[in-house]
Amino acid sequence: MGLPHAVGWQAAAALALAACGGGPLLPEGASEQRWEVSKKAEVVSTVDGHPVTDDELRGLVRAATLSPAEALSRLQAERALMLEASRRGYAGRAEVTLATEQAAIHALLDEEAAAVQVSDEELAEAYDRQRNRFVIPERRRAVHVLAKLPADADEGARSAARAFIEQRLEELRQADDPVAYVTGTQRTKTAHFEVLGEALPMAAKGSGAFVKPFMEALFESEQVGVVPRPVETSFGIHGIGVVEIVAAVDEPLSKVAGTLRQELLLKKREERIEALIAELTRTHGVEVAAGAREALGELELR
């Protein structure tokens, strides 16, 4: 039975008291002699002959809210990890008490985790890949009222549109709710132009989110407020209000190196432990008892 993708450094830690924490795998009341199976216990799987019982499986499903298949894979992984811990000398025998087993697996996973390092080159490459996390341009949110003109509008129409927007700008300055104000003006018409009012999405400086004259006006002031003049673009004449400014972020590698290094270490540890468990479950003779898959299906339904 394959190991779920979720069984990595953190999942292994949860099931085996690895370095980053976690509790006992079995529910309270489990036998101290973990692998000494009573005659009444039903063996659903073995790892190099060491049994995983139906009682353990049901207990883990209840205690950890796992599916039966996930619980079985975790129990198989624990057996394989314990065997490897014994091979490396962290436990004197396979049949050990619960506390000794957890300590042995803890030590094994600590050894694996300690072997993982992040080089300065890996750190620099990760920073470059994730630069948009650490270097973010200033962003602004705006509202606007647009007197939408046809491409062939004459100067009379443009003058009328400009006068209309100048009046709207004055009203926008006085508005308690700029969004409600501009949306209340939309889709009205005059003899020369159509009026559209919109609350616009956040735009980053230099992004080209809107046409150039609009972007220049949007970022010309240092404060939230109304752009003091009508702005003409290929769409017509705009009255623009800046309603939110989010400051730029520029964090150099030297400032975020500690956090980024820890993230990379965690990822590499997860990958190393996941690979170790996968290899151990391949090499330690994992077997599933006849009829166990059907029993898992029945347990899934309950």
The pLDDT value recorded for residue 294 is: 66
pLDDT band, very low/low/confident/very high, at 186 (cuts 50, 70, 90): low
Report whether pLDDT(3) > 60. Answer: no
Instruction: Give the residue, 299 or 44, on which the prediction is more confident.
Output: 44
Residue 20 is predicted with a pLDDT of: 32
pTM assigned to the model = 0.61
Q: What is the pLDDT of residue 17?
A: 34
**Range 17-27 average pLDDT:** 36
| Span 118-162, pLDDT tens digits | 999 999 999 999 999 999 999 999 999 999 999 899 999 999 999
Q: Looking at residue 295, what is its pLDDT?
A: 64
Who wins on pLDDT, 167 or 62?
Answer: 167
3-state secondary structure the chain: CCCCCCCCHHHHHHHHCECCECCCCCCCCCCCECCCCCCCCCEEEEECCEEEEHHHHHHHHHHHCCCHHHHHHHHHHHHHHHHHHHHCCCCCCCCCEHHHHHHHHHHHHHHHHHCCCCCHHHHHHHHHHCHHHHEECCEEEEEEEEEECCCCCCHHHHHHHHHHHHHHHHHHHHCCCHHHHHHCCCCEECCCCEEEEEECCCEECCCCCCCHHHHHHHCCCCCCEECCCCEEECCEEEEEEEEEEECCEECCHHHHHHHHHHHHHHHHHHHHHHHHHHHHHHHCCEEECCCHHHHHHHHHHC
CATH of region 138-247: 3.10.50.40
Per-domain boundaries in the chain: 9-118+259-301, 138-247
Question: Could you report the per-residue pLDDT of 34-63, keeping only the tens digit for each?
Answer: 444 444 568 888 888 888 888 888 888 877
Q: Which of 225 and 191 is assigned the larger pLDDT?
A: 225
pLDDT in tens, 204-218: 999 999 999 999 999
